[in-house]
Amino acid sequence: MDFGVLKARFFEALDRENGSISGAARAVGVNGATAYGWARKAGVRGRGKTGTSGHPGRAEYDRLRAAGVRRREAAAQAGVHERTARDWDRGIRKIGDARLHPDGRRIDYKTGVTTTGTDGSEPSLAAVEAVLHPRFLTVTEREMIADMHREGRSLRAIGRALGRPASTVKREIDARAVNGVYRPHRAQRAWANGRARPKDAKLAQDGPLREFVADKLRERWSPEQICNALVIEFPDDGSMRVSPETIYQAIYVQARGGLRREVALALRTGRTRRKPHRSPQQRTSRFADEMVMISERPAEVTDRAVPGHWEGDLIVGPRSETAIVTLVERSTRYVMLGHLPGGHTAEEVRDVLVPLIQTLPEHLRGSLTWDQGCEMAAHKQFTLATGVPVYFCDPHSPWQRGSNENTNGLLRQYFPKSTDLSVHSPADLEHVAQQLNARPRKTLGWQTPAERLRDLLTAT
């Protein structure tokens, strides 16, 4: 018998055997290994197998999505990253450093290479087994449609059994039946093959748009500048439009066949790979001990109405090898300096800060505000030793410690940048602190920080 005819008979038997590859192989008298090879190439998996992910939150996520919960909310409740949830909805499976798409594309995000497991004549195994949104019919539902349709059940009865409208069942049978016979596995393969919509990336095609973008990149324009320039220079030409994201993808993803890699040198960062940006909620905590952020700081600290609240930081020498601890009281602008002769690790900074704060009377030990520098990793130990809570500024927000930043600028008169700070003794630092505390300040009504602090001490 002709090999092609035998293969066709095998797939017909596969429908009759309810998807059992072994049963279909026995029915047509073909070797089991050959039958499984045919099924695998055609994207068919034996009945009883599943393509579901082993992620612990997958079942809960699917349940929430089936109940109509939005993707972002369902992902948050199931403890799943939103990108993973989006991949599940699209039928994308992660395999190592690659993502396998329903249309058979395998994109390796380390190398940027896209490969496909089919020649376009048959859908891939990933396409057939893709677990997509509940609105799509599954192979199991198609088998039920075939069984009940063969039994002569009405469209409404089939729809009730599936929990779907009768119109969905009618469209499926009308579109997939061959000569009045509905074959569920053939229908599944046809559906999977129809999902692939290959389309060249916009900047992968030669033409005026690609030339314009490439020329402007060589002139070191940013993708956003290029996008807006196209609207101005070609106001009536809709084909001369591209988004900044499309330009970035053409540069970074080699597989899209976009702009040459040399053009990537025009980007200001000079990176060859994209750097992901996370929202504050997704960022990993900087320290092992949880930080208390400045947003939780009491209002009395913010308005400087109550003395005893301090701002702290380091000023560092060349190559960050030497440093000095600087503390400024928010109400009086009183300055205290700490000596760090050997380094500024978290333990060394803690061992300087603790005795420095303990020289103050208890009513002036209100709080300490610091940036998120790694030198404050031992903040919990500092708080336990002194009873002073530490509040952390938001990333890249120096204005939240404005008094300390201003004081550090004044200190650079005594400790210029690029000078070795380890040569200054504790006595030198005390002398500088006394000079700063004896300088009148406009913000204090031309009083000095030392006078303001003295008034506080004598008043109590």
User: Residue type at 241?
Assistant: R
Summarize pLDDT for 63-91 with one digit per residue, the tens: 888 888 888 889 888 888 888 888 888 87
Rounded mean pLDDT of 126-144?
Answer: 73
Rounded mean pLDDT of 274-278?
Answer: 65
Q: How confident is the prediction for the chain on average, in pLDDT? A: 81
Q: In a 3-state reduction of DSSP, which class is residue 233?
A: helix
Distance CA 26, CA 341 (A): 84
Among 26-30, 70-74, 286-290, top mean pLDDT goes to 70-74
Distance CA 144, CA 162 (A): 8
Q: Are residues 344 and 402 in the same domain?
A: yes
* Alpha helices in 79-165, H assignment, sequence order: 82-90, 125-129, 139-150, 155-162
Starting at the edge strand found earlier in the chain, the sheet holding 113-116 runs: 93-95, 98-100, 105-108, 113-116
Q: Are residues 299 and 262 in the same domain?
A: no
Q: Are residues 247 and 376 in the same domain?
A: no
Reported confidence tier of residue 219, pLDDT bands at 50, 70, 90: confident
Residue 279 lies in a domain: no
Q: Are residues 320 and 420 in the same domain?
A: yes
| Residue tagged 């040198």 (tokens) | 265
Phi, psi of 328 (to 5 degrees): -130, 130
pLDDT for the residue 324:
93
Expressed as residue numbers, the domain containing 16 is 3-42
Q: What CATH number should be reported for the domain holding residue 438?
A: 3.30.420.10
Share of the chain above pLDDT 90, in %: 28
N-to-C CA span, the chain: 107
Reported confidence tier of residue 40, pLDDT bands at 50, 70, 90: low
pLDDT for the residue 255:
41
Q: Are residues 249 and 386 in the same domain?
A: no
Whether residue 370 has pLDDT greater than 60:
yes
Q: Are residues 237 and 384 in the same domain?
A: no
Phi, psi of 336 (to 5 degrees): -130, 140
pLDDT for the residue 196:
59
Residue 324 lies in a domain: yes
Residue 443 lies in a domain: yes
Reported confidence tier of residue 353, pLDDT bands at 50, 70, 90: very high
Number of domains the chain is built from: 3
Residue 140 lies in a domain: no
pLDDT for the residue 34:
78
Summarize pLDDT for 247-272 with one digit per residue, the tens: 887 777 644 444 555 555 666 666 65
Q: Are residues 241 and 315 in the same domain?
A: no
Q: Are residues 262 and 301 in the same domain?
A: no
- Angle at Cα 26 formed by Cα 22 and Cα 32, nearest 5°? 50
Q: Are residues 338 and 446 in the same domain?
A: yes
Q: Are residues 217 and 315 in the same domain?
A: no
pLDDT for the residue 266:
61
Whether residue 156 has pLDDT greater than 90:
yes
Of the two residues 123 and 220, the one the predictor is more confident about is 220
* DSSP class per residue in 165-200: -HHHHHHHHHHH-BTTB--HHHHHHHHHHHH-----
Whether residue 28 has pLDDT greater than 50:
yes
Residue 158 lies in a domain: no
Summarize pLDDT for 304-316 with one digit per residue, the tens: 888 899 999 999 9
Residue 271 lies in a domain: no
Residue 77 lies in a domain: no
Question: Which stretch of DSSP H or E encloses residue 25?
Answer: helix 21-28
Summarize pLDDT for 380-402 with one digit per residue, the tens: 999 999 999 999 998 888 899 99
Q: Are residues 318 and 450 in the same domain?
A: yes
Residue 208 lies in a domain: yes
Q: Are residues 317 and 431 in the same domain?
A: yes
pLDDT for the residue 311:
94
Q: Give the contacts of 18 (CB within 8 A, at least 6 positions apart).
A: 47, 143
